[in-house]
Amino acid sequence: MKVPRLLTLVLSLSLFGTAGAYASSMWGDFEGFPKVKLMINNAEKPFKDGETPAFVAKGSAVFPVRVLSESLQALVKWDDAAKTVSITKPNVHMFVAKKVNDDYSIKQPFGGVKKGDRLDFAVFAQVDSLTTPISSFKISIHAPNGEQVAVHEKAVNGQKESFWYPWPFNVTFAESGNYIVKFSIKPDERSDYTVVSEKVIASE
């Protein structure tokens, strides 16, 4: 998100056994409050210099809403006038298929490929519970090294709470490892894309 204020918004979670909550932390302090380590899916979430880190205040863990939205793969909107944070989590289900008829009926779904294979396939995305207007969405494919190897963007006219979208791709799976198919949404023209769903294609 490009709205600077959003980076400082926080969500509070209750903690048990909070005696000595204001004691110095092994992770350091933030404006007089003890920092805490934040783990998401067993991986530590790092915070850059200048970012609001996770910390403890009045017996509760506090961390940026941005972190919550990234971990949930949700859309976040900050309304400065109303001082309101809105979090929207649409349901996005994706799958891939090697052989697809002209009417996009599915003949051969897959989840793994051989390293070096170049395939024609389609990505199918089913979206529902999208309760906020969006500007566009994109489907992108990323190699194990993080490089984007294919992308397709689609503008959206008006609000669509649910839709079904297929798109053909041709990709060479040159590396071994996990290729990630990402479905991203741009809430408006001023916003960045937010990833709301991922699908893995294993290359071995």
Task: State the CATH number of the domain containing residue 194.
Answer: 2.60.40.10
Looking up tokens 């979208």, which residue turns up? 165
- Look at 3 and 11; give whichever has higher pLDDT: 11
Residues 197, 96: one domain? yes
When pLDDT is cut at 50, 70 and 90, the band that residue 11 belongs to is low
Question: What confidence tens digit (pLDDT) does each residue in 132-189 have?
Answer: 999 999 999 999 999 999 999 999 987 789 999 999 999 999 999 999 999 999 988 8
- Same domain? For 70 and 127 the reply is no
pLDDT tens-place string over residues 49-102: 888 899 998 888 888 888 878 888 999 888 889 988 888 999 999 999 987 777
**Which CB contacts under 8 angstroms, 24+ apart, belong to 76-83?**
76/1, 76/6, 76/194, 77/132, 77/187, 78/1, 78/3, 78/5, 78/6, 78/9, 80/3, 80/5
Question: What is the pLDDT at residue 15?
Answer: 46
- Is the pLDDT at 10 greater than 60? The verdict is no
Q: Which pLDDT belongs to residue 22?
A: 54
Mark whether 155 and 197 lie in a shared domain: yes
At residue 106, does pLDDT exceed 70? Answer: yes
What's the domain count of the chain?
2
Q: Which of 88, 105, 126 is the last residue of a domain?
A: 88
CB 35 within 8 A of CB 28: yes
Q: Which domain holds residue 76?
A: 4-88
For residue 125, pLDDT over 90 is answered with yes
* Residues 78 and 118 reside in one and the same domain: no
